[in-house]
């Protein structure tokens, strides 16, 4: 635990010191605010629950994008600068490196995601909302962000180019999301498998409904990609 804590603090410090972290956070807040004002508050009158559901829908997209962007550097930058070799020769395990980097990215994502809380709170001015809807929505955003970060870390562990890592991770996230299209033409049981793999079928939290199967989906898929990243590091250590 001590090694994981040290790596987490090291990487979180890198996020807070590097301009790119603030740029990503600023873009997320700006786009979320713009879409909230245009789609959620603008147009035809809507119920408060509909406004909040719209907010979580476009916030989910920005969470996936930002999760990929903040994780693309975690291993690719280390390899590019030549510091990954030093990290791999330190008395730490591969799983500790992966967990430390993952937790730092997740904490950073959680910080700027929670800064958007003022948008749902604005709905209280002229409407009524369930606190459970807000809590469930933000829990879903963090689960979605954790999955995107894990995918981005796996892509970053495969290459020394941050651009290639970002493109690879984005393609993987898009492929997972679009699995639901295959479920519309596939026959059972493949239809059910594709529907479960796709993120599309696990977004009930946008309506404030946090189901066990959705939580299990995001946690298990996040664990899978963290495990893959760990195995990639182990393979590199023995080269």
10-residue mean pLDDT profile of the chain (239 residues): values are: 83 84 89 82 73 88 92 85 73 85 93 89 76 88 94 90 90 86 72 80 83 91 93 76
CB-CB contact of 112 with 32 (8 Å): no
What domain range is 141 assigned to? 2-237
The predicted structure's pLDDT at residue 239: 58
Side-chain half-sphere CA neighbours of 150 within 13 A? 20
Are the C-beta atoms of residues 230 and 153 closer than 8 Å to each other? no
For 187, which DSSP code?
Answer: P
Orientation angle between helical segments 94-114 and 48-71, nearest 10 degrees = 140
Please tell me the predicted confidence (pLDDT) of residue 177. 85
Overall number of domains in the chain: 1
Task: Report pTM.
Answer: 0.91
């Amino acid at each position: 635990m001590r090694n994981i804590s040290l790596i987490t603090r090291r990487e979180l410090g890198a996020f807070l010191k590097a301009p790119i972290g603030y740029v990503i956070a600023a873009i997320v807040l700006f786009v979320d605010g713009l879409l909230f004002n245009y789609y959620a508050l603008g147009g035809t009158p809507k119920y408060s629950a509909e406004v909040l559901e719209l907010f979580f829908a476009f916030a989910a997209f920005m969470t996936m994008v930002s999760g990929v962007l903040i994780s693309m550097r975690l291993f690719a930058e280390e390899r590019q600068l030549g510091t990954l070799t030093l990290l791999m020769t330190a008395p730490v395990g591969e799983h500790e490196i992966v967990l430390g980097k993952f937790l730092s990215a997740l904490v950073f994502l959680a910080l700027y995601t929670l800064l958007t809380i003022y948008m749902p709170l604005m709905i209280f001015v002229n409407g009524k909302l369930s606190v459970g809807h807000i809590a469930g929505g933000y829990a879903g955003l963090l689960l979605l962000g954790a999955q995107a970060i894990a995918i981005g870390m796996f892509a970053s562990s495969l290459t020394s180019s941050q651009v290639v890592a970002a493109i690879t991770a984005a393609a993987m996230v898009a492929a997972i999301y679009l699995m639901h299209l295959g479920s519309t033409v596939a026959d059972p049981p493949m239809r059910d498998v594709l529907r479960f793999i796709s993120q599309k079928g696990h977004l009930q939290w946008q309506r404030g409904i946090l189901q066990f199967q959705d939580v299990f989906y995001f946690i298990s898929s996040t664990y899978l990609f963290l495990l893959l990243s760990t195995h990639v590091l182990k393979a590199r250590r023995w080269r």
